[in-house]
Structure 1
Amino acid sequence: MSSNEELVRQKDEADVKISSLQKELEGERAKALEERESLQKELEAERAKATAERETLKKELEAEKAKATVERASLKKEWEEERAKAASETATLQKELDEERAKASSERAAYPDLYVAAADQFKGSVEFQMAVDAAVANSLARKESGGSGPSRMTTGGRTEAEVIESF
């Protein structure tokens, strides 16, 4: 064969290879495009799903917020009612206390002689004097030991006022 024929044959073989490679490349391109379209459809489906889920969650969140707002308003109203009730009860109790104090004060003012007479009557009693002496001794003992407290408790756990009242 001549070198010209050899070159033509090599050219033909190269053309066949090129043609084969072009067909293979076109096949790969088609496959890649097909895969790309498939992936794009899958991505769009996932995006649609995510968007729908986000909308659902957003609606649920708004419903929960509305529910919480209603509950908060209800609790606030209940708290305000309780507060008003407590204030009313406090005012009523304060009024009753003031009335009792005024009554006690007026009774003390009206009957000072009665209190003095009752105290004088018991002062002569031996039991009264012993109870007062015991209370004073106990009080002094507590002061020395550092155990004196504001309750002014005497022997047996009674206050001096209770000892006096018991006579």
Structure 2
Amino acid sequence: MRGGAVAEFPSITLTNHTAILTGVGPGRHGVMGNVYYDRATGERVVPNDQSTWHRSADWLRPGARTIFEMVADHLGPAERVRTASVDEAIDRGADYATMALIRASGESGADALDDALPDPTVSPFLGDPAYLSDDYFRWGVRVDDLGLQQMMDLWADPPRRRC
């Protein structure tokens, strides 16, 4: 990262997250934006929607590999480390993934994993409770707190901290 990091074009969240997690730009990984037209399939693709975000890795081109797949290929079975994708849409190859939990639940949308999301009113990270009147902010606090809890649970075992 000497000299800083450069965003991919188009400079859109899912395009750049996918570039970070694959190491290649959108021309190679295939996720051209939060909403785009896929010329190969002739379909409008909406990977960054609450009903489809857990399937975003489905739109990766076949040759695009995720960091999780690269780590697994690089290390031998005896060196295997645990990988996790928490609250990130491009999770293919991760040993643990929040989006895999959503896919396994059979649910989609903002209601997915609703029973597992913590109460936002007791979040130790909430600065101003007045913001909870906004439904999206309220949901975001719940998701962030669950993500942090997932990370703490995943790496609670001291030997795994080395990974």
* Same fold flag (TM > 0.5): no
Which of the pair has more CA radius of gyration? 1
| TM-score w.r.t. length of structure 2 | 0.20
Structure having the higher strand fraction is 2
- More contact order relative to length (CA 8 Å, sep ≥ 6): 2
Structure having the higher helix fraction is 1
